[in-house]
A and B are shown apart, each in its own frame.
Chain A
Amino acid sequence: GENVEQHPSTLSVQEGDSAVIKCTYSDSASNYFPWYKQELGKGPQLIIDIRSNVGEKKDQRIAVTLNKTAKHFSLHITETQPEDSAVYFCAASFNQFYFGTGTSLTVIP
């Protein structure tokens, strides 16, 4: 089956700086790559996604890039704010979702 690895496991940045979270996947059949934000006590919230026929997608301060050849994809958050603090999960999907182990992001005011 698919194996998704996510790095780093924890990340601290100063408010206003950028944050980058990276994921790799193993199954070349995976064709859908969502990113979720999970706050304490809540379910994961879909923040951005990308399909395998697209290399980059941006939504305001959030962007995702995909390199199919290298089987890796990344989440980029610019101009970070304290409310961006949460755990972020990547996932890869073909016939089911496989999640990474999560990145705990702390934005220091």
Chain B
Amino acid sequence: DAGVTQSPTHLIKTRGQHVTLRCSPISGHKSVSWYQQVLGQGPQFIFQYYEKEERGRGNFPDRFSARQFPNYSSELNVNALLLGDSALYLCASSLVGVSYEQYFGPGTRLTVT
């Protein structure tokens, strides 16, 4: 079975630009969560979507937004990029909500210069 897939693998952007990251969950999973992982730290929760609705939001500025599509895939958008946005962005899928097993994708490495 295919696991969680994310694209692109790596991305280099300039300060002030916008970026869109994509995620496809495991087949049959209806919930997608996004995390930011800065080097040397644990993942930090950004958003959770379930059945195309936002079900949770972490402590991130409004520059971060996301959506989930009818096929349960998801996009994470970040506007007005800052140097501090450089991180590994992880997508995790689960059958239902956050108190269930979450399976992570390989991540997108974003570098902001």
Contacts and interface: CB of A to CB of B under 8 A. Distances in A.
Interface of A: 4, 6, 31-32, 34, 36, 41-46, 49, 89, 91, 93-102
A34 B33 CA distance: 15
A42 B99 contact: no
Contacts of A46: 101-104
B41 A49 contact: no
Given A97-B45, A99-B43, A99-B44, A43 B101 contact: no
A101 B41 contact: yes
Interface residues of B, number: 23
B102 A34 contact: yes
Interface of B: 4, 33, 35, 40-45, 48, 56, 58, 90, 98-107
B16 to A, nearest CB: 28
A100 to B, nearest CB: 6
Contacts of B4: 43
A97 B33 contact: yes
B102 A43 contact: no
Contacts of B48: 96
26 contacts: A31-B99, A32-B99, A32-B100, A34-B101, A36-B104, A42-B106, A43-B4, A43-B90, A43-B104, A43-B106, A44-B90, A44-B104, A46-B104, A89-B42, A93-B99, A94-B99, A95-B98, A96-B33, A96-B45, A96-B48, A96-B58, A97-B45, A97-B98, A98-B45, A100-B42, A102-B41
A5 to B, nearest CB: 11
A36 B102 CA distance: 10
Nearest to A41: B106
